[in-house]
Every structure is written in structure tokens, then in C-alpha cells.
Amino acid sequence: MRMIGMARRRAGVLPVAVLAVLVAGCGTERAGDSAGADRPSRTPVATPSKPVDFPCPGESPTSAPPPTPATTGPAVPPTDHYAENHGFMVPFPLHGKRRCEGLAAAGRVEKALEPLRRRGDFAPERTSSALTGLGYSAGQVRSYQNGSTGVGFLIDAFPLCVEGTMDRNATEADAFGGYPDHTGCDRPSGGH
């Protein structure tokens, strides 16, 4: 019986000792105190680097996009949370080599569609045919009527996406890198 009593006392002492060590060590050093001055400082946490943009072939150094600021939104968050709730619909911009590839793809698309635009041929089928002629598969190309005198298109060569419109005034194509929380180039209809 005496052995059982000793084991119980030892078992009760261990949690009390651990608790005492934890309490004694917590909260003794505060920001600005010199308590840890003789110890080596912590290594800084790595922060993500900014994407690098450089002039692409055929682009002058002054036409390269300006560096993006660290924050892309307003300093004060919106009170209605519109931007936060619709952020999933904002496409990723392209940077570095991928940006150059996107600019080249958009230029090829505009050049391929320009003869159709000059003829006033805004049929989605012929737009798709011109884009598949660039080497994109039929499954990667979508075109649709955009108003009464235009056509819109999307090339889903994810992670490189090219989207644009063609009407009697202009042919415009832009490249981007997809959307947050979504794989593919089509604009998502719902977020989280």
C-alpha cells in the first residue's frame, strides 16, 4: 500500500513541476527590453520578392510596365467588402518571361484576326478557325458573338490565357495568367 501512495504523489508532482517551469519562463521578455541583448538575434523571415518585369523583344525599355506597388488596394479597406468578395474574378498579371510570352501571343492573335476585321467578318466560326490556324487546338479556343457587330474570344492555353474582342474599330487581345482559386482561363462565376 505504501508503494501506491508514493506513486500517486510522484504522479501529482510532475504536472505541478512542468506548470511551474512554463509559468516562470513565459512573459519575462518584452519588446524593447534588453533582457535578450546578449543572445544572437533571430534570422529575419524571408519575404516574397517582387516579380521582375523587363522589356520584352520588340518593346522599348520605356514601355515596360511600371513596377507594381507592394499594396494594390486602398490604404483603408472598403466597408462593403466588394473588392474582397470579388477578388476571385481579377486575373493574375504576367511577369518576367511569361509576360513576354503573353505579349507575343497577343500580338500573333491580333495579327491573325486583323484581315477578318478589315473585311468586316465577325463570325465566331471564322474567328475560331483563324485562332486554331495559330496552332491552338479547337478545345482551347472559344469565340462568341459580342454585340451586333463584334466577336469575343478566349484562348485557354493555361497557364497562359489570351482574351479579347474584335469589332469594326479594332482588334484587341490581352494575355493573363488565370484566376485565383480556379484552374483554367474562363472567368469564374463564384468564389469562396
Residue 147 Rama label (left phi>0; alpha psi -120 to 50; beta): left
Give me the helices (H) in the chain, please. 2-25, 82-85, 96-119, 124-132
Percent of the chain with pLDDT over 90: 42
**The pLDDT value given to residue 170:** 95
Check residues 66 and 102 and name the one with the higher pLDDT. Answer: 102
Per the listing, cell 501529482 goes with 12
Measured in residues, the chain has a length of 192
Evaluate whether residue 124 is within a structural domain.
yes
169 vs 97: CA distance, rounded Å? 31
Of 15-24, 74-83, 123-132, 140-149, the one with minimum mean pLDDT is 15-24
Per the listing, cell 481579377 goes with 90
Q: How confident is the model at residue 65 (pLDDT cuts 50, 70, 90)?
A: low
Evaluate whether residue 40 is within a structural domain.
no
Mean pLDDT of 12-40: 55
Task: Give the domain range for residue 99.
Answer: 93-176
Side chain identity at residue 124, one-letter code: P
* Mean pLDDT of the chain, nearest integer: 77
User: Would the CA dihedral through 111, 155, 102, 74 be positive or negative?
Assistant: positive
CA distance between the termini of the chain? 62
Domains contained in the chain, number: 1
DSSP letters along 126-171, please? Answer: HHHHHHHTTT--GGGEEEEE-STTEEEEEEEETTEEEEEEEESS-E
Evaluate whether residue 8 is within a structural domain.
no
123 vs 143: CA distance, rounded Å? 9
Question: What confidence tens digit (pLDDT) does each residue in 48-64 have?
Answer: 667 777 788 877 666 54
Q: How confident is the model at residue 71 (pLDDT cuts 50, 70, 90)?
A: very low
Closest among 181, 144, 180 to 164, alpha carbons compared: 144
Check residues 88 and 22 and name the one with the higher pLDDT. Answer: 88
75 vs 78: CA distance, rounded Å? 9
Evaluate whether residue 88 is within a structural domain.
no
Evaluate whether residue 66 is within a structural domain.
no
Judge whether residue 77 has pLDDT over 70: no
Evaluate whether residue 38 is within a structural domain.
no
Evaluate whether residue 169 is within a structural domain.
yes
Check residues 123 and 56 and name the one with the higher pLDDT. Answer: 123
**The pLDDT value given to residue 39:** 55
